[in-house]
Amino acid sequence: MEILQWIQNWFKSQCDGDWEKDEVIQITNLATPGWEVEIDISKTSIANLEIKWILNEINRQDWYGVKVENQKFLAAGDAGKLIFLLDLFKQMIDKVENE
């Protein structure tokens, strides 16, 4: 399944009349250039997961980082990593829900 379709379906499945009223999924650009993804996971299967910042940097044009803290999935990466960052989130959800 295409990652945007998956995110859309995941978002719809999380909506409970309250959670979705805040900015629960934010995708912004960085000046480096790059992307930043922030997703509220407070009502998800990974709500209590904590991961310290992990940075994978090959060079200034090929990098990404991810962390999970305070019930938020936070990831950033170079200009070509948006789909990759969203897929990292999907992999976390899939791994926890399929254990």
What are the tens digits of pLDDT across the range 55-89? 999 998 999 999 999 999 999 999 999 999 999 99
pLDDT (0 to 100) of residue 23:
83
Q: Is the pLDDT of residue 38 over 90?
A: yes
Residues 20-33, mean pLDDT to the nearest whole number = 92
Q: Which token pair is 91?
A: 């992999």
Q: Is the pLDDT of residue 99 over 80?
A: no
**Sheet of 72-78, strand order:** 25-30, 34-40, 72-78, 62-69, 51-59
Lowest mean pLDDT among 15-19, 26-30, 35-39: 15-19
pTM for the model? 0.90
The dihedral through the CA atoms of 10, 13, 16, 17 has a sign that is: positive
